[in-house]
Copies of this chain bind each other. A is one copy, B any other.
Amino acid sequence: MIKIDSTTQTCSNCPIRPRAICSRCTGEELDELGKIKYYKTYSPGASVVLMGDPMTFVASVVSGVATLSRSMADGRMQMVGMLLPSDFIGRPGRDIASFDVTAVSELTLCHFHKRAFEKVTSSTPHVQERLVEIVLDELDATREWMLLLGRKTAREKIASFLLICARRLGTQEGESLQMSLPLTRDAMSDYLGLTIETVSRQMAALKRDGVLVLEGTRKVTIPDLNRLLDEAGDDSDGATLP
């Protein structure tokens, strides 16, 4: 029987957070799943799946960071999503991966066999409904990202990225907010549709202007979240992560 640890918001029987899949699970529905899970670890840079590969599993991120991306024949590539702990990888009903999944840090996934997973979801209406919701959330976040890619300036893109990271990874520290960036400058440039040089320059500019404080290259402090929000040029504060 699956229990939800309401403190950590993490399902105690599996690393899939309630918001990811089992928010309404009170009982045995996912029990079978718990029995068939297995863990797998990937080193930084390792490929989890390649576009076109058969997808025989669904999984959730236990620890580390992974990216979703698509690339062109000549090597240009665009990240289309970033996966943090508790995020879900998988396409119920789909057999072929439609993008690359790559580990950007030491990454641990909790796998489930896709068929078994599908068996559970298809026989459990509320899990099915939750799936539609998850995918709709992803779609919303992805469309938000389209606005960023198509219309925002480099500075706004960086600010938006920091904002998204702050929302998911930031910890309050008195007035300000602290976090450790999940991506290298290089991966950031892939995500934002920029070059690494532009990312570096704009980070420097935001630092110079007091929007952020950098300690080393990854540790970021945001002294004033509203200031960052302004810089991101965002209407909606519902920005989430594709």
Residues of chain A at the chain B interface (Cβ within 8 Å): 51, 68, 70-74, 76-78, 80-81, 91-94, 98-99, 122-123, 125, 128-129, 131-133, 135-136, 138-140, 142-147, 149-152, 192-193, 233-236, 238, 242
In the complex, chain B residues whose CB is within 8 Å of the CB of A152 = 72, 76
Establish whether residues B135 and A139, one from each chain, have CB atoms under 8 Å apart when the complex forms: yes
Contact of A139 among B73, B76, B142 (CB under 8 A): B142
Question: Which B residues are in CB contact (< 8 Å) with A139?
Answer: 135, 138-139, 142
Instruction: From known contacts A99-B143, A146-B146, infer whether A73 and B233 are also in contact, taking CB-CB under 8 Å.
Output: yes
A2 to chain B, nearest CB (A): 22
Q: What is the CB-to-nearest-CB distance from A159 to chain B, in angstroms, rounded to a whole number? A: 13
Q: Least Cβ distance of A177 to chain B in Å?
A: 23
> Which of B72, B92, B235 is A72 in contact with, Cβ under 8 Å?
B235
Docked-complex contact A71 and B235, CB < 8 angstroms: yes
Q: How far is the CB of A174 from chain B (nearest CB, A)?
A: 30
Instruction: Say which residue of B125, B235, B236 sits within 8 Å of A128 (CB atoms).
Output: B125
Chain B residues near A51 (CB, 8 Å)? 236
The reply to whether B122 and A70 contact each other, CB–CB distance below 8 Å, is no
The answer on a CB contact under 8 Å between A72 and B147 is yes
When chains A and B are docked, how far (Å) is the Cα of A132 from the Cα of B77?
A: 27
For A192, what are the chain B residues with a Cβ–Cβ distance below 8 Å? 150
